[in-house]
Structure 1
Amino acid sequence: MNAEEPRRPDPDALLVAANKARRGRLKVFLGMAPGVGKTYEMLRTARRRKADGEDVVIGVVESHGRRETEALLRGLEVLPREPIEYKGRALMEFDLDGALARRPKLLVVDEYAHSNAPGSRHPKRWQDVEELLGAGIDVWTTLNVQHLESLVDVVLRITGVRQRETVPDSALSRADDIELVDITPDELRERLADGKVYVPETARLAADNFFKPENLTALRELALRRMAQTVDDQLIATMREKGVEGPWAAGERIVVLVGGDAMASALVRTGRRLSDMMMDAPWTVAHVERPNQKPPSSAARARLREALKLAEQLGGSTVVLTGDDVVASVMAYARRNNVTQIVIGKSRDSRLRELMGRALATALLRQARGAAVHVVTERGDDDKDAPPAARSAMSAAGWRGHLGALAFVGIAGALAGLLDRLANGADLAMIFLLSVLAAGLAFGLWPAITAAAVAALVYNFFFLSPRLSFVIGHPTDVLTFGVFFVVAMTSGWLIGRIRDQARQTSNRAAAIASLLVSSRRLSGSATRKDTAHALAEQISAAARAKAIVLAPRGDEIEAVAGAPELEDLGAAAMAAARWAWEKGEAAGHGTGTLPQTSWTFWPLQGVRERVGVAGVEADALRPGSDEEKLVLALLDQGAVALERADLALAAVEAETLRRSDRFRAALLNSISHDLRTPLSTVLGSTTTMIDYGEGMPAATRADLLESVREEAERLNRYVGNLLDMTRLEGGALNIREDWIDVRDVLMGAAERVARRLGKRHIERDFPSDLPPVRLDPNLLEQAVVNILENAIAYSPDDTAIELAAYEDRNNVVISIEDEGKGIPTAELERVFEKFRRMEEPTDRTKGAGLGLSISKGFIEAMGGRIAAASPIHGDHGTRVLISLPKPPPRTEVTP
């Protein structure tokens, strides 16, 4: 962009502004701690707005008994709160629907981080505010800095108090205005002592704990820093929206430009020191990738990767830019992000490049308007920085390419000489151009340029008159030679670049394909062992060497998977693996820790914690190579996959424990309530008969004895149900199958419950003939008895319970109907759960809620099915159906 061209706004910034225009505006009154006066200042400002004629409504304000705050509420419209029932109490919460219906211009909603009562639409008040803003209502709210999610751990270390109510930083970042309400720590402690924050007893405890001077000073610094960061972000957003290019030195921002040379790490440390001198100014390490240049060497890529990693470790951010012009790319980034300080290293430019103004430092100084440029003059030597083996390998690879290019030119010269003898006037230059193209395709950019230069000289020396001389005799040959030289150099440069880029693209595609395959394999592994095996195989394939994965077991780590096979590690290798596990750093061959071992180990760092260690055989990976980058990417994937497998196992164990706890709690509840009532009745009746003896009337004695028998039978049924459920849960159910007539079983079940029918009666509906079924008659009878007892418990007096049986195509079906009030549709799927009852828990006469669950377990254990339907008589009644499979029909064979 030229200086004369108008500056255009950033499209992304315009899109953000357009989205904000449709929302209400959010203003946050930010403070360092309770009692600084956030709510007071918010209400004072709201009263001024009200006096100016603006529609201001108080949604919710917590005065905490402060008289001056309550005085500011007088004369302002306050929305009534909404009662929400929770554990038998009515909690008064902010009425979100009432606020949306009232729809004021400005709504005051105190305590942004407040947690709503269970049963509210949103669990957090900041989510209520988001809905209000989406409806176009302006909202004012208050927030203490310790409630920001990103600062929870910091505040815990400062104050020793973990904040339970938090607000995501992204919610605060969306605020249109933030006003800092600030007082000194001494003033706040005076307010606390005067009872203006808490009641006296609470104030004394708070002054000795949370409100200590050092705590308040640290919290005040956090609030001021957060305020400064927000203002800086708003400044950059406004500059992008208005198309204003920086830098504006309202605050310092540093960018450190690094490459793949030996100075990269030194430049990063310089940026960190500069940030410290500028009061912890934000700093970013940037690298520019240039598509028009040949790819950097493996050593350069390794140094660049280490520099970017070091920047993140020192607290900086990193960015990789793309552009053919380094200076233009850096300056465009600097203007977009309001960068005021640029740090670069003094490159090894030639004197000619410096005189022509093409050196990086010179070009950057010429274009860096408004930004300071720091040039670090220390420099290293790439060749010295690389290990001797790597230098010799790079040198050998380069010489092989150039020798191959010379060989192609030699072959082209021999062919040209042969054609020159056989055919007079042949265009020999095309043969040399073909050699240049072949060198570019085979060896890359620089060998192709070498081939172009040598081909031009050979063509001139041997085939242009006068021959065997570099002198060009005819003027037309000068033009021919010039065109040939230009075409050869251009063709060699282009074909070399295309070849290098194609190779890069192919390598990246192969790496992506490998990562995709690995991701699928790792994601398909359900257990830690399977995941470890898959990871070891993928690492071994990528490194073309042996690989091993170690996982923790207690306080130690052990090898759990290997490829192509699991090997025993020696003492030195295990020591390196333990170091990688304990320190979270690479160890072994090629590192600074135990380099004499024959393995290289890396820690497997998951999202939450370290999950293991992976090792590769020594010398398998060249530092900075594509294979090493692929292996490191696989390690990251494998760590997350192992952590996911651990979490899945923990989730299963937690669910099992949760179900066990629920069963245990329900069992204890059943014992403490459902067994206590019959025991109390038995104890009371027997005690009465013992105390009064023969003097008790016979009718009373008979009535007491009947109560004892009924409650003892009831107690026996409860204990039997608990034992049956224990058998089902423990898998100890013993099924004794036999051929039976279902009608006999149903008649036996009806007789067992006859004494408990009361004023109800059972209607039987059995066909004259039913096919026999093979199952356990005792389990079937108990299942039917449980269902009948359930029907008796939930059906009114003077009603019928229908017990029927019939057959369909594949089953013998048992139907049990009652005329009770029925089961809600939403409960039909849950009615067979353990301890599930449709009545209140205080209704002791309905049983422990195990009968239907036991019936379901018995029927399914015998291969049958059970289901409930309700209502069946208009708006009431329940039908339970049991389907028992019939035996397959016999096939008669005619002799």
Structure 2
Amino acid sequence: MPETEAETPATSAVPRRKRGRLKVFLGMSPGVGKTYEMLRAARRRKAEGLDVVVGVVETHGRKETMSLLRGLDVMPRAPIDHRGRSLMEFDLDGALARRPGLLLVDEYAHSNAPGSRHPKRWQDVEELRDAGVDVWTTLNIQHLESLSDVILRITGVRQRETVPDSLLTDADDIEVVDITPEDLRARLAEGKVYVPETARVASENFFKLENLTALRELALRRAAQTVDDQLLFHLRERGVSGPWAAGERILVLVGGDAMSASLVRTGRRMSDMMMDAPWSVAHVERPSGSRSDARSAGRLSEAFKLAEQLGGRPVTLSGDDVVRTVLDHAHRNNVTQIVIGKTRGGRLAEWTGRALATELLRKAQGVAVHVVTEGDGSAPEPTIRPGLRPGLDWRPYSAGAGFVGAATGVALLLDTRFERVDLGVIYLAAVVAAGVLNGLRPALVAATLAFLTYNFLFLQPRYSFLIGSPTDFLTLLLFWAVALGTGALAGRVREQARAAQRRAAAVSALLAASQTLSAAQDRATTALSLAEQASAAAGAGAVVLLPDGDDIVLTAASPEGVVLGADAMAAARWAWTHGEVTGHGTGTLPQTRWRFQPLQGVRGRAGVAGIDASAVAAGSDEERLALALLDQGAVALERADLAGQALESETLRRADRFRAALMNSVSHDLRTPLSTVLGSATTLIDYGATLKPEVRDDLLLSIREEAERLSRYVGDLLDMTRLEGGGLNVRTDWTDVRDALNAAADRVSRRLGRRRITRDFPPQLSMVEADPGLLEQAVVNILENAIAYSPDGTTIELAAYEDRGSVVISIEDEGRGIPTAELERVFDKFRRMEDSTDRAPDRVQGAGLGLAIAKGFVEAMRGRIAAASPIHDGPDGGKRGTRILISLPKSIATHPDLL
């Protein structure tokens, strides 16, 4: 897309290998001996011990070339089925599996047979280099993309097989295979290039002496330029100071005309001549201008793609004043050279303001302007057959005629009743109405019809189209002037309104997509939202594929039920692995109707999105909006990944915090009872026979109490682990709360000491759906907490009652209570109050898990738990005591009369 440049992500989906080296044997034309020289050099490398393999070499029946293949490992070619024929092509997969030390691939610009993975052989070479394979290849200078127009003018032949110039610049080595044009023509005459009959025709056409001389100059100059680029690179790499020719910046202006591709190639050639100067290709959109047709949009899209292939940067500008917009951009970006095309429009184009080249030359200051004229050898534009032209809409013209008819009726009425009435003003009003409502052309037709009617009915001589005086002719000119002014103004306002509507619709679509994507919580939801938004924007099918292990899988599609074939999945995997746009309209696997774009986020590729490109016009507003949405989707998918990672990190952090608190608790709460048990048991073993019975009984009691305490603590840890891990199994049954309360009171009876438990239960109590075991354990934990914080001689009250919707359990103690600031955190894990001054400190309160476990059990049964403190008047006049309330919901509410 314009204003975007693909960047290699920091992290790739595949491990990066060292890129293979490329050596190009460059010649001025066929027959100079490129393949022969490549094979000779390869034999020398093989003699040195290098693993040399011939991937594909075209000998064209030359015996000298065929003799050099002896002793070299030649790969068999792979058959490609096309229209019932089997075509033999270079076996790319076989070469990747073989991975030789050096691979020979002849004819760099060759076009592969339909059905191959890549349309061009140079793309096969790029894949080999990405896999770490060194490649030698051959190339004729006429196959460079930027020289296509130059070769056409020199030889009269347009080259269909071309190679992007950036590939030659990126080559590690270039060896020019050069002979003089006279020697080449001599070889041609001797039959060493073509068979005699073909050689005679070639000698009279392509291989003319002046053609070969020009081609030789181009080859030598291009090779020298590449060598100079490599020298500058090494100088910069070593920090050698010097005058760099980096001050030139080139801006190529293109539109939707037939010269766009030619202008892009011209910009590339100028960049080469100016020491590889940075260059960009710009198109100016006029908000008030008419919307470009599908053909112009397609040409513009092709020009941008060509610019990217040749190393340029596409830019889209916006402004009504094209010249001012271009010059402002040039000044902001330090552009020194502007390239613009001049089509054959004549002086009419200059008079109407369409000759941008002339206007740019007049207003440019400090910038060199290069005007490229349309060549005679340009390919003719296909004409539209009359039967294919869209039908003319007659409604605006009919409306204009209606306005003139109404004006005529009013004029006839006024003419019969009044004298000396300026009836021309009435017709002028009709012309203005036609121009305001329908635009320029209907206004001109209405103006002509109004004048003819006015002249025929009301001007002397009446009922004749003769113009009686010069003032009548001025009336016609006035009508036309008004029609031109109002029509042009109305058309401009209408186009501005349409452009504003398009921009508002695009902004609204992007805003809605942004909100939808931002609301998605996970990758699957984000992918589905992205597919739906892209499909709606493009008006075609859309899919999103996300990584799953080492592969990508179809995660979301719009509309539902879209199935990708094997060719589409191959293109999608290629886009994911290599970070390239693949599929329809691209240079990689173009036979599929889908076009796949890697979703490149900030940190790396998040997935691949595909658009059914066969249903979307290239360069259309729909396509650009869909691509913009895909860019948003990449960020949204990455955000979903980050959100998931943040949640996972938070879970790990909480687990680490729980583990740390658990270890701190274990260090004391396990060590203390174990030390007591160990000390008491050791004393009994060593001195049991000499101890008094009451001492021995006290030691045994301590062992039992500490073992029970240790058992309770381990049980609490296991219960909390179940709660934290989500492994709690709730087995609900109809439960009488009073049974669970009585069982819990009995379990803690031995730990009451001199405390007592009172029970306050109604004779009738509704049953609830709960887990009796969990409910009993929750009450036991609360009772143990009350025992731990209540002094001896106090009472713990255990009560139950019900209201309309729930059964409530109340557990009250007479301890010192809970400070108000602590009430909200009393159910937190490892939350323990300081030791009470009312009791001995030798019995600590536990690990601080009891109330947290009780809360977890109660909430697992859909209940609620809360604490209130203080609730009693203390003996010192202060407040004390705590009440824990458990509320369990009823399945069916009780009628108030039954309570």
Q: After TM superposition, is the score higher than 0.5?
A: yes
Would you say 1:476 and 2:475 are equivalent positions? no
Task: Give the deviation of 1:856 after TM superposition.
Answer: 1.5
Would you say 1:867 and 2:858 are equivalent positions? no
Match of 1:764 in 2: 758
Retained in 1: the 8 A contact 2:597–2:609?
yes
Retained in 2: the 8 A contact 1:436–1:455?
no
Retained in 1: the 8 A contact 2:284–2:318?
yes
Retained in 2: the 8 A contact 1:299–1:386?
no
The one-letter amino acid paired with 2:622 is E
Q: CA separation in 2, counterparts of 1:664 and 1:398?
A: 77
Retained in 2: the 8 A contact 1:452–1:485?
no
Retained in 2: the 8 A contact 1:448–1:496?
no
Retained in 2: the 8 A contact 1:576–1:601?
yes
Retained in 1: the 8 A contact 2:542–2:558?
yes
Q: CA separation in 2, counterparts of 1:367 and 1:737?
A: 92
Q: CA separation in 2, counterparts of 1:494 and 1:355?
A: 18
Q: CA separation in 2, counterparts of 1:521 and 1:355?
A: 50
The equivalences for 1:695-714 within 5 A come to 695-714=690-709
What secondary structure, in the 3-state scheme, does the structure 2 residue paired with 1:558 have?
Answer: strand
Q: CA separation in 2, counterparts of 1:807 and 1:424?
A: 99
Retained in 2: the 8 A contact 1:433–1:488?
no
CA RMSD of aligned residues (A): 5.5
Task: Give the deviation of 1:675 after TM superposition.
Answer: 2.4
The equivalences for 1:742-761 within 5 A come to 746=741, 749-758=744-753, 761=755
The equivalences for 1:568-579 within 5 A come to 568-579=563-574
The equivalences for 1:737-886 within 5 A come to 737-741=734-738, 746=741, 749-758=744-753, 761-762=755-756, 764=758, 766=760, 771=765, 773-774=767-768, 775=770, 778-795=773-790, 797-798=791-792, 800-805=794-799, 807=801, 809-810=803-804, 811-818=806-813, 822-838=817-833, 845-872=844-871, 877-885=881-889
Q: CA separation in 2, counterparts of 1:295 and 1:400?
A: 18
Q: Gapped runs of 5+ residues in structure 1? A: 1-217, 222-250
Would you say 1:681 and 2:676 are equivalent positions? yes
Would you say 1:561 and 2:565 are equivalent positions? no
The equivalences for 1:13-28 within 5 A come to none
Task: Give the deviation of 1:259 after TM superposition.
Answer: 5.0
Task: Give the deviation of 1:761 after TM superposition.
Answer: 2.6
Retained in 2: the 8 A contact 1:255–1:286?
no
The equivalences for 1:647-662 within 5 A come to 647-662=642-657
Match of 2:25 in 1: none
Q: CA separation in 1, counterparts of 2:653 and 2:860?
A: 24
Would you say 1:294 and 2:290 are equivalent positions? yes
Match of 1:733 in 2: 730
Retained in 2: the 8 A contact 1:604–1:639?
yes
Match of 2:368 in 1: 374
Q: Structure 1 pair 561/332, CA: closer, same or farther in 2 (3 Å)?
A: closer
Task: Give the deviation of 1:551 after TM superposition.
Answer: 2.4
Q: Structure 1 pair 358/318, CA: closer, same or farther in 2 (3 Å)?
A: closer
Task: Give the deviation of 1:852 after TM superposition.
Answer: 0.7
Aligned equivalent of 1:592, options 587, 596, 601: 587
Q: CA separation in 1, counterparts of 2:736 and 2:352?
A: 105
Task: Give the deviation of 1:595 after TM superposition.
Answer: 1.7
Would you say 1:344 and 2:338 are equivalent positions? yes
Q: CA separation in 1, counterparts of 2:893 and 2:539?
A: 59
Q: CA separation in 2, counterparts of 1:383 and 1:509?
A: 43
Task: Give the deviation of 1:483 after TM superposition.
Answer: 1.2
For the pair shown, the structure with the greater C-alpha radius of gyration is 2
Task: Give the deviation of 1:710 after TM superposition.
Answer: 1.4
Retained in 2: the 8 A contact 1:437–1:448?
no
What secondary structure, in the 3-state scheme, does the structure 2 residue paired with 1:789 have?
Answer: helix
Q: Structure 1 pair 720/300, CA: closer, same or farther in 2 (3 Å)?
A: same
Q: Deviations over 1:97-148 (max 9, x none)?
A: xxxxxxxxxxxxxxxxxxxxxxxxxxxxxxxxxxxxxxxxxxxxxxxxxxxx
Aligned equivalent of 1:628, options 623, 629, 638: 623
Match of 2:225 in 1: none
Match of 1:224 in 2: none
Q: CA separation in 1, counterparts of 2:380 and 2:653?
A: 58
Q: CA separation in 2, counterparts of 1:382 and 1:875?
A: 106
What secondary structure, in the 3-state scheme, does the structure 2 residue paired with 1:619 have?
Answer: helix
Q: CA separation in 2, counterparts of 1:572 and 1:457?
A: 65
Q: Deviations over 1:425-484 (max 9, x none)?
A: 998998899799769967x76x55885898799889999999999995532222122112
Q: CA separation in 2, counterparts of 1:733 and 1:788?
A: 22
TM (norm. structure 1) is: 0.57
Task: Give the deviation of 1:868 after TM superposition.
Answer: 1.7
Retained in 1: the 8 A contact 2:399–2:434?
no
Aligned equivalent of 1:718, options 713, 716, 719: 713
Q: CA separation in 2, counterparts of 1:453 and 1:584?
A: 60
Would you say 1:488 and 2:488 are equivalent positions? no
The equivalences for 1:119-138 within 5 A come to none
Q: CA separation in 1, counterparts of 2:322 and 2:593?
A: 42
Match of 1:126 in 2: none
Retained in 1: the 8 A contact 2:761–2:801?
no
Retained in 1: the 8 A contact 2:436–2:487?
yes
Q: CA separation in 2, counterparts of 1:437 and 1:642?
A: 53
The one-letter amino acid paired with 1:677 is T
Task: Give the deviation of 1:627 after TM superposition.
Answer: 1.9
TM (norm. structure 2) is: 0.57
Task: Give the deviation of 1:730 after TM superposition.
Answer: 0.8
What secondary structure, in the 3-state scheme, does the structure 2 residue paired with 1:557 have?
Answer: strand
Would you say 1:551 and 2:546 are equivalent positions? yes
The one-letter amino acid paired with 1:867 is A
Q: Gapped runs of 5+ residues in structure 2? A: 1-235, 240-245, 417-422, 836-840, 873-877
The one-letter amino acid paired with 1:577 is A
Q: CA separation in 1, counterparts of 2:795 and 2:353?
A: 103
How many residues are aligned here? 630
Retained in 1: the 8 A contact 2:734–2:767?
no
The one-letter amino acid paired with 2:734 is E
